[in-house]
């Protein structure tokens, strides 16, 4: 009790100093805000503007630059003060969560208190709180009492950990305090994990486990692969890794040099608050589909959810084989061979037209293209673009005499006429000759009118749009075309037939999107992004080897962190792909496996791990709960039973409840049946934000998120077959506290894999 009082006294003293520092910062922030406002309002009054001669213009430029620099400096100060103030306000309520007493070799022990940010006492000239990302803080996560070490900028520091203590502090009051061993104590984890689910991912800095800390602080690997069971905290650890890297390299790394490829827009919303809670700016977030959509032209692009929806609702063996082949690196090699063939022949171009008249034919462009003595497609394209621009200039001059130009000249606005007049006056001022103003003005206006219309053609040439990439890609699948290689798969004809049919409809299947862009960039030149330093890919098991190789080429200087769970590989292109094959793409790679699941209760984990190979290796955190319930109901009574169960779950205090169907089609049907009975929200692939309450959604949109309770809508044998073990596992592992499975017919044969004592059967 005395120790508790001493620790509480320290909390009181620290929070008092935090409040005092915050009060000072509030005044400074207000002062700087006023200065910024004043500079903005009086910007031009404080600038000397004079362009009469070169000297005065230079002075004006210097005056503007000085004023702009002053404004930028004040804005930076305001931003810095604001961020500091946000951190201090968070520290007022929970100043820290841990303490270690660490004695360096030959030195007395020092008490180190860890929080979400540092707090330095200028009077005592010491840190009262250390940031959880500071080098010495790793001792808290990695060691029990005894010999310990941490890596500092000056080298490895060895010493002895004499005490490791954890706190639960709310509103500056200690609610829990306990000493612990190697891992973060079960008491704190129980306290955090036992809470209701939230529409935002939890910040886990107070409960980071040793294996998660290895992920967070890894700095050496070019490729870091995290294979983690459902609920093992791999995504949370990755976000803490972002925060750690921004702290560790705060002088040279910015948040906009890091990007997260997430599974869907809904997931972006789910994780969006983690970094701001730690006082960091959010990294860039996107989906791979969004990237593809910005690059694909000439087709209607299928998204991965439409592809998956189709595959879940059909038994199309041909499409499945097409998807799998186009996911492989062998298909990338085939496109490389095709690009080499295009160096010699078979490029396709489009006519360049103006007002219905062909200025340059595709045949003329092709003839010039293959006459260019350059050995790369992009170089030839650039040289051809320059030639097209020269030819367009000739046509532009001829076009000025056409009758349509005279008609458009009469419609010119006043600004254009004034611009033409000023241009004419300028030319006369610096010319030794005199001109007929009217004739010169007419010629100038004709040039302006024609140039305005030709501008689109110049852009067309500059962006290399004269190459018919859709036709070039489609040609690869033409009957008997791919004779330039003898490395075709046995089912090549099936691949050609299916692909040709879709491309003729101007549809680009999802499995073709990355190969199409890859070929496009082989022709036009690769648009590498060298500014990105770190790439994070979540749900990496859903990516194809082709896509990974493409991303590596797209971000050549970036380190890559990929997070996935092979037991949740539900996409056709990834079902047979191992994350570990990725290591062949990088020189320095490391794999960390997380086998302990924290999301669900022990009962839910012991039930769900039976549906996947190697499930016995998944460890359950010791958090007790009710057995999963399996219940058979008549089809016409299913909506009523689900509504009743939702009401009971809400009565038990569960706030976020998910009704998960296999497909979007089934989700929409059940939503329409449930809507008159209970308030709920339908989540679709377009949904971009989480909201608390009851949600109904398809299986593949539930990946990566968690709910207090999950209701599996219908686990009948004709819905989840023996081949759907990974999908069923994915659905069931979304539940934190309760799992309820309904079936309208014979139950899925997957249940035969589950021991009777691991669930409650209600016939």
d(CA 703, CA 546): 22
Residue in 218, 195, 216, 143 with CA at minimum distance from that of residue 598: 195
Q: How far apart are the first and last CA of the chain?
A: 53
Q: Where are the beta strands (DSSP E) in 546-685?
A: 559-564, 589-594, 596-597, 619-620, 629-632, 657-661, 681-682
With tokens 């609702």, the residue in question is 313
| Buried-state track 124-141, b at ≥16 Cβ within 10 A, e below 16 | eeeebbbbbbbbbbbbbb
Radius of gyration, alpha carbons of the chain: 32
| H or E stretch covering 708 | strand 707-712
159 is in an annotated binding site: no
Tokens of 219: 């700095």
Strands 619-620, 352-354: pairing kind: unpaired
d(CA 99, CA 180): 11
Contact, 502 vs 299, CB < 8 A? no
d(CA 507, CA 515): 14
The residues, ordered by sequence, that sit 6+ positions from 669 with a Cβ below 8 Å of its Cβ are none
d(CA 664, CA 701): 9
Residue 663 has what DSSP assignment? S
Residue in 281, 467, 449 with CA at minimum distance from that of residue 385: 467
Residue in 447, 434, 367 with CA at minimum distance from that of residue 400: 447
Cα within 13 Å of Cα(730), Cβ side: 27
228 is in an annotated binding site: yes
Q: Which residues on adjacent β-strands are paired with residue 150?
A: 157
709 is in an annotated binding site: no
431 is in an annotated binding site: no
d(CA 474, CA 492): 14
**Residues annotated as binding site for ATP?**
228-235
**Residues annotated as binding site?**
228-235
């Amino acid at each position: 009790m005395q120790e508790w009082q001493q620790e509480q006294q320290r909390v009181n003293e620290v929070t008092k100093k935090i409040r005092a520092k915050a009060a000072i910062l509030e005044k400074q922030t207000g002062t700087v805000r006023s200065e910024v406002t004043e500079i903005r309002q009086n910007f031009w009054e404080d600038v000397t503007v004079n362009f009469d001669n070169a000297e005065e213009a230079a002075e004006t430029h210097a005056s503007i630059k000085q004023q702009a620099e002053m404004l930028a400096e004040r804005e930076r100060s305001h931003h810095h003060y604001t961020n500091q103030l946000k951190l201090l306000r968070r520290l007022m309520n929970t100043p820290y969560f841990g303490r270690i007493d660490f004695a360096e070799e030959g030195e007395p022990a020092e008490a180190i208190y860890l929080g979400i940010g540092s707090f330095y006492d200028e009077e005592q000239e010491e840190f009262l709180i250390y940031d959880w990302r500071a080098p010495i803080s790793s001792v808290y996560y990695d060691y029990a009492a005894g010999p310990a070490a941490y890596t500092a900028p000056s080298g490895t520091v060895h010493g002895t950990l004499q005490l490791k203590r954890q706190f639960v502090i709310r509103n500056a009051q200690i609610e829990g305090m306990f000493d612990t061993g190697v891992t973060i104590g079960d008491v704190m984890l129980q306290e955090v994990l036992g809470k209701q689910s939230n529409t935002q991912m939890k910040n886990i800095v107070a409960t980071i486990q040793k294996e998660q800390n290895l992920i967070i602080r890894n700095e050496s690997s070019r490729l870091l692969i995290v294979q983690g069971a459902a609920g093992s905290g791999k995504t949370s650890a990755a976000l803490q890794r972002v925060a750690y890297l921004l702290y560790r390299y705060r002088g040279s790394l910015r948040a906009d040099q890091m990007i997260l490829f997430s599974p869907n827009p809904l997931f972006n919303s789910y994780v969006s608050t983690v970094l701001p809670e730690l006082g960091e700016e959010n990294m860039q977030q996107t989906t791979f589909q969004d990237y593809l959509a910005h690059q694909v032209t000439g087709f209607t692009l299928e998204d991965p959810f439409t592809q998956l929806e189709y595959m879940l609702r059909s038994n199309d063996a041909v499409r499945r084989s097409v998807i799998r082949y186009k996911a492989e690196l062998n298909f990338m090699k085939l496109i490389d061979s095709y690009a080499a063939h295009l160096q010699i022949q078979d490029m396709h171009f489009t006519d360049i037209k103006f007002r219905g008249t062909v200025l340059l034919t595709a045949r003329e462009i092709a003839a010039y293209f293959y006459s260019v003595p350059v050995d790369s497609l992009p170089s030839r394209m650039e040289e051809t673009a320059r030639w097209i621009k020269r030819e367009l200039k000739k046509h532009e001059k001829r076009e000025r005499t056409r009758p349509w130009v005279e008609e458009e000249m009469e419609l010119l606005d006043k600004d254009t006429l004034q611009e033409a007049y000023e241009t004419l006056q300028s030319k006369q001022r610096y010319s030794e000759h005199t001109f007929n103003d009217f004739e010169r003005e007419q010629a100038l206006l004709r040039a302006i009118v024609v140039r305005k219309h030709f501008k689109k053609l110049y852009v067309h040439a500059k962006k290399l749009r004269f190459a018919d990439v859709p036709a070039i890609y489609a040609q690869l699948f033409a009957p008997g075309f791919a004779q330039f290689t003898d490395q075709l798969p046995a089912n090549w004809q099936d691949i050609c037939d299916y692909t040709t049919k879709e491309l003729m409809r101007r549809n680009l299947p999802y499995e073709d999107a990355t190969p199409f862009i890859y070929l496009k960039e082989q022709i036009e030149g690769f648009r590498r992004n060298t500014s990105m330093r770190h790439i994070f890919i979540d749900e990496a098991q859903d990516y194809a080897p082709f896509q990974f190789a493409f991303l590596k080429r797209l971000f050549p200087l970036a380190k890559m962190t990929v997070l996935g769970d092979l037991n949740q590989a539900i996409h056709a292109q990834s079902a047979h792909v191992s994350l570990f094959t990725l290591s062949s793409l990088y020189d320095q790679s490391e794999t960390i496996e997380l086998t302990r699941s924290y999301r669900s209760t022990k009962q839910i984990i012991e039930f769900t791990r039976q549906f996947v190979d190697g499930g016995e290796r998944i460890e359950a955190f010791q958090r007790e709960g009710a057995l999963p319930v399996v219940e058979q109901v008549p089809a016409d009574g299913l909506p009523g039973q689900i509504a009743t169960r939702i009401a009971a779950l809400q009565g038990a205090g569960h706030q976020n409840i998910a009704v998960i169907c296999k497909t979007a089609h089934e989700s929409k049907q059940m939503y329409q049946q449930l809507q008159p009975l209970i308030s709920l929200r339908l989540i679709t692939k377009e949904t971009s934000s989480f909201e608390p309450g009851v949600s109904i959604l398809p299986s593949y949109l539930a990946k990566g998120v968690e709910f207090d309770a999950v209701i599996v809508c219908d686990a009948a044998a004709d819905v989840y077959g023996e081949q759907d073990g990974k999908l069923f596992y994915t659905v069931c592992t979304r539940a934190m506290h309760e799992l309820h499975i309904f079936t309208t017919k014979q139950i899925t044969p997957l249940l035969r894999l589950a021991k009777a004592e691991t669930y409650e059967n209600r016939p």
